[in-house]
Structure 1
Amino acid sequence: MNYAIAKIKGKQFKLFEKKYIYVPFFYEKKLGEKLIFNQVLLFCKNGMIKIGTPFLKEIRIQVEIIEHKKGKKIIVFKKKRRKGYKKKNGFRPIFSKIKIISFLEK
């Protein structure tokens, strides 16, 4: 099975062809838009592994944005003991669901 480890928006993800993955939100991108990532750290094809220093220049990944979705709520709770200070806050991060279309090799 072919897979790649790529850096997307500062985080590393293991990507398989024809699979879906949730990544941090792409602000200026529309649904159905196709993107190409070129920051590939590792690529495995039929058991042969290529490792970049730090990136592989000959491998690119073509993906398509499927949907934008909110994640589960994350609670931020701050407290200072014996001071009477408590602060509860929360937010829901936004993710983009992408489908890996293909690995492009030069």
Structure 2
Amino acid sequence: MFAVVETGSKQYIVKEGDILRVEKLNAEKGAEIEFDKVIMVDDKIGNPYVENAKVKATVIAQGKAKKIIVFKFKRRKGFKKKIGHRQHFTQVKIT
């Protein structure tokens, strides 16, 4: 059995036992969470979401992704700008 879940403006295909990295959620490690924006379950397709469908998950970890370097410059002008960014994420296990 699989489902398509929407969280953090992204869609994920999930099944029981999967481990996902989703956009940061306000939940502590070990907390149980529910995804109620279920777009599809097996052969049922929602319009836009499937009614009375929920996917349960357990929070495994909160963390930051690998650093991404953004480097901007303008040729011949001496303008250089270097910025780093680390995106926050929540790792969950589908139950």
Q: TM-score, normalised by structure 1?
A: 0.81
Q: RMSD over aligned Cα, in angstroms?
A: 1.3
Residue of structure 2 aligned with 1:77, choices 71, 75, 89: 71
Q: What is the match of residue 91 of structure 2?
A: 97
* Equivalent residue pairs, number: 95
Cα distance in 1 between the residues matched to 2:71 and 2:31: 38
The answer for unaligned runs of 5 or more in structure 2 is none
Letter in 1 for 2:85: F
Q: What is the match of residue 56 of structure 1?
A: 50
Q: What is the match of residue 21 of structure 1?
A: 20
Letter in 2 for 1:15: V
Q: TM-score, normalised by structure 2?
A: 0.90
Cα distance in 1 between the residues matched to 2:5 and 2:74: 40
Shift of 1:9: 1.7
The answer for unaligned runs of 5 or more in structure 1 is 102-106
Identity of matched residues, %: 36
Cα distance in 2 between the residues matched to 1:89 and 1:75: 6
**SS in structure 2 at match of 1:59:** coil
Shift of 1:83: 2.3
Letter in 1 for 2:62: H
**Larger proportion of strand:** 1
Shift of 1:95: 1.3
